[in-house]
Amino acid sequence: MTLRTYLQRLEKDEQILHITKPISTKYEIAALLKKLEPRRVIFDNVIESDFRVMGNLFCTKADFGDYFGISASEIIPLLTQAIADRGKDLSPNPKSDQVEAGPAPCQEIFHPRPDLTKLPILRHFSNDGGAYITAGVFAASHPQHGQNLDFHRCMQFSPTEMAIRVVTGRHFDAFLQDQDYVDVAICIGNSPNVLVAAATSVELGVDELTIANALEPLQLVRAKTVDVLIPAEAEIVLEGTVYRHHRHAEGPFVDLTGTQDIVRQEPVFELKVITHRKDAIWQALVPGAMEHKLLMGMPREPTIFQKVNQVVQCVDVNINPGGCSWLHAIVQIDKRADDDGVKAIRAAFAGHRSCKHVYVVDKDIDIYDPVQVEWALATRFQGDRDLVVLDKEPGSSLDPSAEPHTKMTTKMGFDLTAPLGTARQHFEKVVYPDIDVDRFV
């Protein structure tokens, strides 16, 4: 399946809402997407652009699983398997049967003199530094490390330039530090295998396209002016160069936490060409909304699952929206030993280093029900015995409460598991007797 065939299926099943009235890229599209989530939406009449805009495509795990024909509970095994078994290398290889020789869908139209102002780049909030591309997947390459795929938000400030938020220490930052400039292709309008692969944290040198291909076979094409392979079925591609020493103010920007990030001097992307489908649809991703949270948090669940499973029996992981889908993780284990909860806490932090709070529960607790998790906190936890505190650890740049500049933070793990043996009977939830309501009501 491709994103286009999936959209066609959704159209047939009447699962997409079409907005036909004129609507602006300045605040209106973002605001309506947020109001309508998790409903999938296509805007057919965008005031500032000839391109249509789509959003809210994958707001929930159920939506994501639906694309692959699996249940939400099968997502972690699917992602874990794709990371472990990436299949054949998709490094640039013109003879590969997965690299299209002729015109690819994403290159049906070629603009040698491109203009960013013709694209429906959204301005989301009144205090934003500018209009932002938020769903852009960057494809870049390095002479030693090969190709890399990841996300960077892009703030437009001229018809051919954008300021790119590059997080220090990430793979793309390493590429820039080594080369001073990096040629990139920014792909917009991607299938969920590409989106989740680009959001996955793997070791330097792993081409995330191999993860996308392991999730679902992927057709690739070489970009027109830069030496990278890109998804052939993407909607729109911006090709150009990011310069390490050419900087511009980036921000403010409302990020995953729903709070406003600071202004920084960030590297500049200079646009060379734009290619796109004949009837391309722009993909919007509203900052801090459900789809943003899902695509940020969900790819970290298999890495936590893998680390925890090395020390105890892990059942499931939920990086929950209440923790901004980034700062909290709820880990469900099959407890076999008294210290399994503490072991799981430390392993979970190793699996997601930006995580701030970890909650470990037994397998009788539904980790997707916050009431049940809070019940476990209320009935199975004692602070002097079950709390793990990691003082002054590297935290997340997204956490406004972390130490300014260094982003050091205090991390805490909560062992909400019940004791083993005969003592456990005092911590079990009593099951109400069943009764046929229709007999009485």
Active-site positions?
Answer: 255
Q: Which residues contact 284 (CB under 8 A, 6 or more apart)?
A: 29, 30, 33, 53, 54, 55, 120, 122, 134, 135
Tokens of 240: 């150009």
Cα separation, 239 vs 225, in Å, equals 7
Query: DSSP readout, 190-259?
Result: --HHHHHHHT----TT--HHHHHHHHS---EEE-SSSS-EEETT-SEEEEEEEEEEEEEEE--EE-TTSS
Tokens of 364: 């009788």
CB–CB of 262/407 below 8 Å?
A: no
H/E stretch holding 275? strand 264-276
Specify the amino acid at residue 33.
L
Q: Beta strand pairing status for 357-362 and 328-334?
A: parallel
Query: DSSP readout, 397-437?
Result: TT-TTSPTTT-EEEEEEEE-PPPSGGGGGGGPPPPPPP--G
CB–CB of 103/233 below 8 Å?
A: no
Please, is 249 exposed, middle or buried when counting C-beta atoms within 10 Å of its C-beta (0-12, 13-18, 19+)? middle
Q: Which residues contact 387 (CB under 8 A, 6 or more apart)?
A: 381, 412, 413, 414, 415
Crossing angle between the packed helical segments 301-309 and 75-84, to the nearest 10 degrees:
80
Cis peptide before 38 (omega within 30 of 0): yes
> Distance from CA of residue 261 to its chain's centroid?
18
Cα separation, 138 vs 239, in Å, equals 10
Query: DSSP readout, 374-403?
Result: HHHHHHH--HHHHEEEEEEEE--TT-TTSP
CB atoms near residue 127 (< 10 Å):
10
